[in-house]
Structure 1
Amino acid sequence: MNVLLTGGTGYIGSHTAVVLLQSGYRVVLYDNLSNSSDAVLEKLAQITGQPIPFIKGDVRDTELLISTLAAHRIDAVVHFAGLKAVGESVEKPVDYYANNVQGTISLLQAMQSAQVKTLVFSSSATVYGEPQFLPLDESHPTSATNPYGRSKLHIEEMLKDVAASDPAWGIACLRYFNPVGAHESGLIGENPNGVPNNLMPYIAQVAAGQRAELSVFGADYPTADGTGVRDYIHVMDLAQGHAAALAFLSATIGWHAVNLGTGKGYSVLDMIQAVEKASGQRVPYKIVARRAGDVAACYADPKKAGEALNWRATRTLDDMCASTWRFQQSQRLSVMS
């Protein structure tokens, strides 16, 4: 099967490319490099032993997508291309709707034109909004507390309409919890351009001495230590979830929402301590005001993924932090050399 990965050189896309190639899929990467680098292509070739076709393009370029789908005889698409920072989405909502919603419409138009009707969508647990109960299962009501989550929810609803309009479509919306960690080689990991918006790469950069301290957004939440609690999932487990979703869609049509998480929550302070353990370095931090759009706690009920996709997360918090630190050290060495 030939699979196009939009946002394919990004954090989750690059790790999924490795898993798919090692599972026998043929992979094509498509990315505008707005939050990644084409340097990852060489790393992926090192890991997989083969070059991966790459097209530089914006997901809103419908004509380029159409030609890409045709030229590479694409059978299925995994759609990662999207802006993903909660705080930034509050500051720049138009950018988020343009890139995420408009970009997905463009992709769907291209897929319809090319008659490609199998799609795995990179969704998010933010579509649940403020949790009404925990753990979150797929029957939890959907809503959104920020523009990022609202963009994901709009897309899920569009995809549900598309699947209802044509029984040939098979669509899986994978509701990620919090991806962290890196490939065991240390060659690829979360390496955002500029200041990291996600917790784990920021903590790792503080541990490495690249940043002075971590700002912890709020310590007055109704949680065990007052800091936000999230379900952190190793990126390689997450990548394997995409392979499982593609296998599922090879025999299933319709629209499906599936949580990808571990079912266990860790606080910000838990994560700081875990990185300190993995790195042997102290992580200075300060408590600051809560961040707009954040919720107190969010963790998954991953039962449906086990039943429908035959998938579950297997890697531990120690695995997540050790692989993050290995990648951080690899980055430091490559800068020095």
Structure 2
Amino acid sequence: MKILVIGPSWVGDMVMSQCLYKLLKQRYPEAQLDVLAPNWCSALLSRMPEVDNALTMPIGHGSMQLSLRYKIGKELAGIYDWAIIQPNSFKSAFIPLFAGIKKRTAWKGESRYFIINDLRSNRDNFPLMIERYGALAFDKKDMVNNKALPKIPYPSLTVNETQRQQAINKLQLSLDKKILGLCPGAEFGPAKRWPDSYYAQVAQERIEAGWQVWIFGGEKDQQVGELIRSQISENLQSQCINLAGKTSLSEAVDLLSLPQVVVSNDSGLMHIAATHNRPLVAIYGSSSPKYTPPLCDHVQSLYTDIECRPCFKKQCKFGHIKCLTEILPMRVISSIKLLMAEK
């Protein structure tokens, strides 16, 4: 059997999608499993042994380009027996349709009834995202609720030790001191971003304890990384290294396997750190660990119980982001110490 998965377009979602791929390989070990996803996803898909081929989706997130979808579909015609569409959008289901793939499985979304012929509509019975992904690996009749699912295997991205050492050399990093990894960005929006001044206080405390701090993120996070460094005592700033914008996603995957503890917003990098089973402090603002929790053994998920959360909004409609500001630095520092005691 040959299976085509239309993969998600966000880092965290792509990491969590490995749960589906693992379940598919458990059920059909001889099957060919290919994933069609944006080009940047190859950095993650190449670290998933379950994926046989990563196919590049040349159409950007949010773009229809129906004629190009038709062309891609025709190029894939006659190859696959089963398609699983992870995104909920109408347009994401067209390529398997145009490819003539007989079985097309997906959750109900954007009225795509005539495109999907194995439509799942009981999404609310599967509260976790990984449960929703995992349920698509099984027959519809068997997936009444999440209790029908077997144990879902956690994502576990492989580490390329050669490339990791090359990144260490290139960035002139040292492993002489314990490492606190910080992931202060969140592509989703500001309602997921813990204040930079709070991150700085946590970094200062760990550096004073004899640690070093590595700040992870993309180019958009470079500025917040510098803001964090600038708020640390000047004589200690050399022990806080801003890697944001200086690493590829593949390098970040490797380097996030090294910190003794990672502190992160609810973001794609949080999920990457979790795949290495790093002790993790996960900070939730507008989102909730009841939907996308960190999937690792040693974790402290921090959030507030204010009335308006979780709202799942990109920006706070009240302008106060109390869901984040009321998580004080001392609470994160205490969580780090607790995680270190566990280890």
What range is the shorter-chain TM-score in?
0.3 to 0.5
TM-score of the superposition, structure 2-length normalised?
Answer: 0.38
Bigger Rg, which one: 2
TM-score of the superposition, structure 1-length normalised?
Answer: 0.38
